[in-house]
Amino acid sequence: MNRPPRSIQNDLAAKTGLGAIDLPNPPCGRRLMEVHQLRYRATEAAATTPVRVDRDQQLVEALRLREPTAAERLVATYGDRAYRLAIGITGNRPDAEEAVQDAFWNVVRKIDTFRGDSSLGSWIYRITANAAYQKLRGGARRRDDISLDEVLPSFHEDGRHAEPISDWSASTGDPAVQAELRAALDAALEELPAHYRAVIVLHDVEGLSMAEAAASLGITVATAKTRAHRGRLFLRKHLSTLTASMAS
């Protein structure tokens, strides 16, 4: 059943007794384009790290003390990112909402087990990913791998590209084209196997380092890099097909 975020808010508030919360519903495709257009400089990101660490320490302490606004602060800080990861894995809103509800309930319930070996965000992402994968196991089987043949460009015997090379730069300033590209990106993300979507969301959308994304998903950095590379090739091929059709 497709329950609105307000229902999740009430369910989690009732379970935790830590106050009302709300969950956002940001489209991954739009967010991914915004991130690539407005990526922070490395120095700016580094400057915010101490603030984030201090904020997370305060949040952990509030959750452990069961302060009335702790759950609201948890969702305000990590709700949108957890939801994007969950919908990136499950591919649909109802399962993503339930996965986030389950994950945040587990975060509140197990906060005393958090030892700080990883960042709070990585710990929350790991719990969210596990909850989302659990939803997948209960649903219809989806593809779980991408072959290189699907995503690598094809060439003629003389070395020339067999397909036109798409150049999006001339058209991305058009709002109508941007809307089409966002819709196409959402559709392409939906076609990606869940394991690949998860890495793309954490690294390319949320800005985690590859090491942080790997730790959040319980995989090696090498595996995360492979999935990110193939996932990007997959998305690029799908968008290239769209832009070619738009130009014709």
Q: Give pTM, 2 decimals.
A: 0.66
Could you give the residue range(s) of every CATH 1.10.10.10 domain in the chain?
148-247
pLDDT of residue 244: 62
* Residue ranges of the chain assigned to CATH 1.10.1740.10: 5-137
Determine the pLDDT at residue 101: 93
Q: What is the pLDDT of residue 45?
A: 47
pLDDT at 189: 79
Question: What is residue 47's predicted lDDT score, i.e. its pLDDT?
Answer: 46
- Per-residue model confidence (pLDDT) at position 12: 55
pLDDT at 28: 59
Q: According to the model, what pLDDT value does residue 158 have? A: 54
Entry field: residues in the chain: 248
CATH number for the domain running over 148-247: 1.10.10.10
Instruction: Show the tokens assigned to 237.
Output: 């091929």
Dist. CA 76–CA 22, nearest whole Å: 8
Q: What is the structure's pLDDT at 155?
A: 46
Contact 71, 21 (CB under 8 A): yes
Looking at domain 5-137, its CATH architecture is: Orthogonal Bundle (1.10)
**Computed from CA positions of residues 9, 104, 27, 56, in that sequence, does the dihedral angle turn out positive or negative?**
positive
With CA atoms as reference, report the closest residue to 144 among 154, 133, 152.
133
pLDDT (tens, 9 = 90+) of the chain, 248 residues, equals 334 344 455 555 555 555 444 454 445 555 555 544 434 434 444 444 555 667 899 999 999 999 989 988 999 999 999 999 998 888 888 999 999 999 999 999 999 999 888 889 999 999 999 999 998 876 554 555 555 455 555 544 554 544 555 555 545 566 776 777 777 777 777 778 888 889 998 998 888 999 999 999 999 999 999 999 888 888 887 777 666 665 55
Return the pLDDT at 211: 94
Q: Phi/psi of residue 155, each to 5°?
A: -130, 150
Give phi and psi for 242, each to the nearest 5. -65, -50
User: CA-CA distance, 243 to 220, in Å (whole number)?
Assistant: 34
